[in-house]
Amino acid sequence: MSVASMSIFAQSNSILVSGDAGFEFSKSNPRSGSVQKLTFNPMLGYQMCDNWTIGGHFGLTSYTAGSSVADEYQIGPFVRYSKKISDHFSLFADTRFGYMWSGMNNVNGWNISLTPKAFINLSNNFGLVFDFGSLSYSDFGHTGHSVSSFEAKFGRTINVGIQKNFGLK
């Protein structure tokens, strides 16, 4: 087994490519049918210095219930603060702002979230990203009728994604 000589620390003047994808299936009772949820959330950032990264994110969430399909989209900036713990492990926090919209019922809105994460370097600045929850606030709906929500989701889910850092010369 070889050990990567590059640090997983957010390296100055480098590009970060990261993201996650997910699938959920639920069925509340035999008569109501099932609901499927598919998510895809890529991120692209620039690591300005050893601890700070700025960039953009995009999200697609597709819901299927019976013959109905609804898609939600999100796009916006993020900022990340990273702290190296060892050559193979770091902790960081992502703060995201997003504009959200859906073609179904012509709804839109925004959200802001703070998500603590952990990174495990597998090889050459490529690794796994784990998060165990987040704090978020959103306002989503259509003119005259929107829904605001605050969520604190810690310990309810575990998300696993991938990340790769590319050094610039």
**pLDDT reported for residue 30:** 64
Q: Domain for residue 71, yes or no?
A: yes
Tokens for 28, please give them.
């509340």
Are 43 and 21 within 8 A, CB to CB? no
Q: What is the DSSP letter of 4?
A: -
- 28 half-sphere exposure, CB direction, 13 A CA radius: 4
**pLDDT reported for residue 82:** 94
CA 4 vs. chain centroid, Å, equals 26
Q: What is the pLDDT along the chain (169 residues), one digit of tens a residue?
A: 333 333 344 567 899 999 988 888 887 666 667 888 899 999 999 999 889 999 999 999 998 887 788 899 999 999 999 999 998 999 999 999 999 998 777 889 999 999 999 999 999 889 999 998 899 999 988 777 888 999 998 887 788 999 999 988 7
- Which residues, listed in sequence order, are joined to residue 15 by a DSSP beta bridge? 46, 166
Q: Domain for residue 35, yes or no?
A: yes
Q: Domain for residue 2, yes or no?
A: no
Q: What letter represents residue 87's amino acid?
A: D
Specify the pTM.
0.81
Q: Domain for residue 68, yes or no?
A: yes
Q: Domain for residue 9, yes or no?
A: no
Q: In the chain, which ranges are E strands? A: 14-27, 34-47, 52-65, 68-86, 89-102, 107-123, 126-142, 145-167
Under 8 Å CB-to-CB from 68, ≥6 apart: which residues? Answer: none
**pLDDT reported for residue 4:** 33
- Alpha carbons 85 and 18: distance in angstroms, whole number: 20
Q: Domain for residue 48, yes or no?
A: yes
Domain tally for the chain?
Answer: 1
- Alpha carbons 97 and 56: distance in angstroms, whole number: 9
- Alpha carbons 20 and 145: distance in angstroms, whole number: 31
Q: Domain for residue 149, yes or no?
A: yes
CATH of the domain at 61: 2.40.160.20
Q: In which domain, by residue range, is 161 found?
A: 14-167
Q: Domain for residue 91, yes or no?
A: yes
In Å, how far are 69, 90, 110, 126 from 139, measured between CA atoms? Answer: 22, 32, 6, 35
